[in-house]
Structure 1
Amino acid sequence: MSQYAQMQVPTGAVIADLRSDTVTRPCPDMRRAMAEAEVGDDVYGDDPSVNRLEAALAERLGKEAGLFVPSGTQSNLLAMLAHCGRGEEVIAGESYHVIRYEAAGASVLGGIALHALPVGEDGGLDPDQIRASVKDDDSHHPVSRLLSLENTNYGRAVSLARIGAAQDAGRAEGLSLHLDGARFFNAITALGCRDIDLAGGFDTVSVCLSKGLGAPIGSVLVGPEDLLARARRMRKMLGGGMRQAGVLAAAGLHALEHNVARLQEDHERAETLAKHLDTLGLGDVTQATNMVFLTPRADLDLSILPAHGLHVAAPDPAMRLVLHRDITEAGFAAVLAAFTMLAEAKGAA
């Protein structure tokens, strides 16, 4: 019998929310930083905390400028609008966020075509398919303008070699390069590389602060000053201009200083959970960075999980289980115990 089978798990209250790393809440130190933040009017450009955040991320990633925005979706949209004109095209992976989960905003609001390519098992794109997707200079076609890559993709940290090959293919065809780095720091943690190693080859990079880093809101788009100036104007058009946003930027600054190094702990817990689920025989299990994907057996009674303190998303067909900083040691033990009970309810352990 598993060592976790004998644990007493309280019923009712949520002990561990595994739906996403976006569910984290500011810790007391982050709240203190927010309360004490120096602020100004960011639309005028005089919020010192916002300016520090934008400059800090731009410097870390080797770019000229940064732009603080409310969400990763807006950050990606602004990048595409800044890179592309109406009737031009973005090439990206069919499972990438800009294609699948951003309501086709680039097309709806910017008149930008989206060309979806198959995504490899490692989350990367094939260089030959990138080259083949670039349109001839013909009035029948949109103008291929931007290659948008993603790292991580469904938790998978795409290798620098794979990213570099895609970048080379795009550059050879005259494309600009954008990286959706919503979980940028999970990627560099898994790859064991420097920020600049992943960001350096891209014109623009979007980094989210409200996922693994634990800030309550915000992403930063970094890139060349002239392109970021266009993005800033478009942020205003989209209603994304903020006033005393320093209270939010302060949370991002705190996250960058204190919460990047600990991401390795989330990755290690995800690996532990994946091994536990595999040992229990609950179904097909894969793991990458801070995410575990379980495609459960059809005979399992998944209602056991919320009854024992776990908040999880429904399988579709896999259940995504995301480890993050708000899951305590006791909470993680409860996660392992709840899945043990799920297995033992059907005699699978």
Structure 2
Amino acid sequence: MEINLVSDTITKPSPEMVDFMMKARVGDDVYKLDESTNELEKTIADLFGMEAALFFPSGTMANQVAIKLHTNSGERLICDKDSHVYAFESGGPAFHSGVACTLLPGNRGRITAEQVQEAYTDDSNVHYAATTLVCVENTTNKGGGACYDINELFKIKQVCLATGMKFHLDGARLWNALVAKQLHPKQFGELFDTISVCLSKGLGAPMGSVLLGSKVDIQKAMRLRKLFGGGMRQTGFMAAAGLFALKNNVSRLQRDHYRAKQLELLLLKKSWVKHVEPVQTNIVVFNLKEGYSPTVLMERLKNKNILISTMGNGLLRMVTHMDYREVMHEYVMETLTNLDI
């Protein structure tokens, strides 16, 4: 039995989800004739209280289309230095949109309104690129699943309104944040110009993200998605998986969070662990004391059929998810309890 804690992207559709997928009402989505996809888009738009939504094959494409929507070549966006849109999307802002990134040193990937205000530049000085967009990530990936305080997001929104900047949320794990903070999606829909949400991580769908925004922005996003090569046909099979996930797999995220917290508390007791980021959702990020090798730990765990990942600079990561069952969790907890390296 292999236990994969590398990422929550490794989940596979449950038999019930597959059965629901096979009953999808499909058509050609490029012509907006796929009924299941149309239903998914409307469902998520209504959930967030936003005007429209568009299905994408990946969160990276959804984020990059949003950036292109809100910027022009030669402008600048603001984001955390470890944000996904900058660090893990293959240089997309520069390649697709020709924009520079002002990178802020946030707290576990979370930037503040004060930082945004200080970093903002307008077009009055010809030496500076005009800043036209702020991108935040919730929860933060490299920050170990940390959640933004909704009040800080409101303050950043006020800076955006005062300066004319647009505000985009990379909500790849926003479902986790909603559950952990007991917030309603409409609280985020009121704050952001665009939001991307993922269906293939904690919710367990095989693929897909949805971009939310105004009717005007989503109409433009359709053209950009086509330009990016994201025009798809019978997407309803994948959209149906998303519909099933929304109905069945959101509240169960609490279980992932609980297991991640148990892993954190256990790691804090190990003599070879230096620090564990406080767990808020389903990601456990930690490092080892000097003299202990992350590679050795990963190999020892692999020999026990437990897979974890490295994030560089000595950081290690474990991610709980839908396919990480209780029997697996008990085995991992027992293994870590007895493990010396």
- Contact 1:295/1:315 (8 A) holds in 2: no
What's the CA shift string for 1:11-70, capped at 9, x where partnerless?
xx41x2100100000000111111111100000110001101111111111110001001
Unaligned runs of 5+ in 1: 1-12
| Cα distance between partner residues in 2 of 1:132 and 1:314 | 33
- Between the two proteins, the alignment pairs up a number of residues equal to 330
- Is the 1:124–1:163 Cα contact (8 Å) retained in structure 2? no
Query: Which residue in the other structure is 1:3 paired with?
Result: none
Tell me if structure 2 keeps the 8 A contact 1:304–1:338.
no
Match of 1:295 among 287, 293, 305: 287
2:164 maps to 174
In the alignment, structure 1 residue 285 sits paired with structure 2 residue 281: no
The answer (yes or no) to whether the contact 1:151–1:183 under 8 Å persists in 2 is: yes
8 Å CA contact retained: 1:84, 1:112:
yes
What is the alpha-carbon distance in structure 2 between the residues aligned to residue 279 and residue 315 of structure 1?
A: 22
Amino acid in the other structure paired with 1:166:
I
Label 1:116 to 1:290 Cα distance change in 2 as closer, same or farther (>3 A).
Answer: same
Q: Distance in 2 between matches of 1:314 and 1:142?
A: 35
Cα distance, 1:315 vs structure 2? 5.9
Q: 1:132 aligns with which of 118, 130, 137?
A: 118
Match of 2:51 in 1: 64
Paired residue type of 2:325: T
Deviation at 1:199, TM superposition (A): 3.0
SS in 1 for 2:10: coil
1:236 and 1:282 map into 2 onto residues whose CA distance is 50
1:247 matched to which residue of 2?
A: 237
Paired letter, 1:335: V
Corresponding residue SS for 1:276: helix
Q: TM-score by structure 2 length?
A: 0.93
SS at structure 1 position matched to 2:269: helix
Counterpart of 1:229 in structure 2 is: 219
| TM-score normalised by L of structure 1 | 0.91
After TM superposition, which residue ranges in structure 1, 4 or more long, deviate above 4 angstroms?
Answer: none
> Taking structure 1 as reference, are residues 318 and 249 closer, same or farther at Cα in structure 2, changes over 3 Å only?
same
Pick aligned residue for 1:212 from 181, 191, 202: 202
- Give yes or no for contact 2:77–2:133 (8 Å, CA) kept in 1: yes
Distance 1:170 1:315 in 2: 32
Q: Which residue of 2 aligns with 1:267?
A: 257
Is 2:94 the counterpart of 1:107?
yes
Cα distance in 2 for partners of 1:314, 1:93 equals 20
Distance 1:254 1:278, change over 3 A: same
Residues 164-203 of structure 1 aligned to structure 2 (within 5 Å): 164-203=154-193
The aligned counterpart of 1:7 is none
Work out whether residues 24 and 211 of structure 1, in 8 Å CA contact, stay in contact via their aligned partners in 2: yes
* Matched residue SS, 1:22: helix
- Structure ID, larger Rg: 1
Q: Does 1:338 align with 2:330?
A: no
Contact map agreement 2:86 2:93 (CA 8 A) in 1: no
Cα drift, residue 171 of structure 1: 1.8
Q: Give distance in 1, aligned partners of 2:188 and 2:271.
A: 37
Structure 2: state its 5+ residue gaps.
none
Q: Does residue 314 of structure 1 match 2:310?
A: yes
Tell me how far 1:163 sits from its aligned partner: 1.4
SS at match of 1:91: strand
Contact 2:22–2:237, Cα closer than 8 Å, also in 1: yes
Report the identity percentage: 39
Residues 1:314 and 1:177: Cα distance change in structure 2 (over 3 Å):
closer
